[in-house]
A and B are shown apart, each in its own frame.
Chain A
Amino acid sequence: MLQDIVNIVSGGSLYCLITLGLALLVGLMRLMNFAYGELIMVGGFAMYLLRDQPFVVFVGGTVVAVVAVSLLTERIAFRPLRGASPVTLLVASLAVSIMLQNGARMTVGPESRGVPPSDWLQQGVAIGGAQVPRLDLVTIALAAATLAALTLLMRRTELGIQLRAAAEDFEMAGLLGVRANAVIASAFAITGVLAALVTLILIEDQGAVTATVGTGPVLIAFVGVVLGGMRSLVGATLGGFLLGAATTALDVMLPNDLSPFRDAFVFAAVIAVLAFRPEGLVPGRAERLA
């Protein structure tokens, strides 16, 4: 029972991190970034290339690689489209996603690459008579620490206040002297860090990376953002967590003959929630983004 609860909370925590990375750019610049999935892919391949390096280099190198690619996509693809409609940005992000995916296929290769899991993380920890996977506990701790750090950043720092102001009224923030390029680049860097953390957990769990490894997570993030509310980071956190917790809970609870229909149950529940709350669980304030 305890093992199941930890498993469900861990699933919710991972989806929560996945959703947050996407939600930041949705709130700030109405960018539903399809290429977010490819940031996870870049992280996965960085983990593959750095698999024999010491732990600090392995983790640090992965984070740096993902943040660098995230910043590059902003500079090359999204900055020239600043102020374009959300649909234009969505299509551009799809193009970036396809380019990155094919770039990986042409360079690292199309086949799956193994990243050996850490023995330490794969071991179980005895809690109250139950064996709980250490990776689940680390996932929960990492998500909690990330949420706390993000809350502190958004509430207590000048950058956080500028990010929140720019998400509410980008033009007015600019009139007060907030530098648009710096704020948006910072948001892409934060998104990169979140994508890197997701990658480290995901690839550690799966033990391999392919060019399409980010496709599943980016769809989860889309649904989590819509479920939670497009205008609220709190909503995205909640939406992602509930989505992940429900998915994992069904994994645990569904009888074998129904388990192939897990996603059908989850998405039926999402549609039911949206039917009653079309703006998501946390609608947020009306915004006026340029």
Chain B
Amino acid sequence: MLEIRDLTVRYGRIAAVQGASLHVGEGELVGLVGPNGAGKSSTLKAVAGLVGAADGEVLVAGEPVGSSPIRAGIAYVPESRRIFGGLTVEENLRLGATTRGRSDRSAELRRMYERFPLLGTRRRSGAGDLSGGQQQILAIARALVARPRLLLLDEPTLGLSPAMIDEVFGIVASLREDGVTVLLVEQNTLRTLALADRTYVMRPPGQIVFEGSQAELERDPTVEQRYLQLL
């Protein structure tokens, strides 16, 4: 589904990602973990088209992403959620369904309200009035109404309460059951390893140093000692 080959991302003269390669198969839930400044978010931003690749390529279903990732089936939930606080919950969801046909939109919204009843009960509330956790659920729902082929989640549990972190990880787990392909960037390494089919470990400056499942990681104590204990 997603193929990143030798990706390099630069901000001026500083390389945030250096020659990173990873792939996400159809229906897989893949984690990308690493310390602050490892280049995880920059990798996601390159896939979402927010930053350009200085080198390498990003392919989705074998094709370059192009100028509109959402029309290529890629939905992105950014680190700071970036919901539209001045709009209602429903208006945020309608925006998420921009690329769907007019007749599909109502059905998609109904589907989201069934899946996340909280959003249904607060559909007319200002999105800016929701709690941080509720806003995160709205941000994920807003991405899902587009029925993406690939969902990019950038640190969805950042700044949330323990109970809300459990809820968000529960939602991410349910996405896999629905067959949505997910690339999850997280700082919560242990929970990501436990949840994901495979996990990539990144370290500064933007290099991938490990790829595998939780079981494979546990069989390779050097990686755990060198990198994960730093997280």
A contact set with B: CB distance below 8 Å? 158, 161-162, 164-165, 168-169, 171-173, 175-178, 284-285, 288
Contact A176 B85 (CB under 8 A): no
Write the chain B residue with the least CB distance to A284. Answer: B86
Shortest CB-to-CB span from B187 to chain A, Å, is 22
* Chain A contact residues, majority secondary structure: helix
Query: Which residues of chain A have C-beta atoms less than 8 A from B142's C-beta?
Result: 176
Shortest CB-to-CB span from B108 to chain A, Å, is 13
Contact B78 A178 (CB under 8 A): no
CB contact between B48 and one of A169, A175, A284, A288 (< 8 Å): that residue: A175
Contact A285 B50 (CB under 8 A): no
Interface size class of B (residues with CB under 8 A): 20 to 34
Contact B70 A175 (CB under 8 A): yes
Query: Which residues of chain B have C-beta atoms less than 8 A from A288's C-beta?
Result: 82
Contact B86 A285 (CB under 8 A): yes
B contact set with A: CB distance below 8 Å? 48-50, 68-71, 76, 78, 82, 84-87, 91, 94-96, 98-99, 128, 142, 146
Query: Which residues of chain B have C-beta atoms less than 8 A from A164's C-beta?
Result: 84, 86-87, 91
Q: How far is B99's CA from A178's CA once the two chains are assembled, in angstroms?
A: 8
Query: Which residues of chain B have C-beta atoms less than 8 A from A171's C-beta?
Result: 50
Contact B68 A177 (CB under 8 A): yes
Shortest CB-to-CB span from B29 to chain A, Å, is 21
Q: How far is B82's CA from A173's CA once the two chains are assembled, in angstroms?
A: 10
Contact A169 B98 (CB under 8 A): no
CB contact between B71 and one of A165, A173, A177, A285 (< 8 Å): that residue: A177
* Pairs of residues from A and B, 7 with the lowest C-beta to C-beta distance, nearest first: A177-B98, A177-B99, A177-B70, A172-B82, A165-B84, A161-B91, A285-B86
Write the chain B residue with the least CB distance to A286. Answer: B85
Query: Which residues of chain A have C-beta atoms less than 8 A from B82's C-beta?
Result: 169, 172, 288
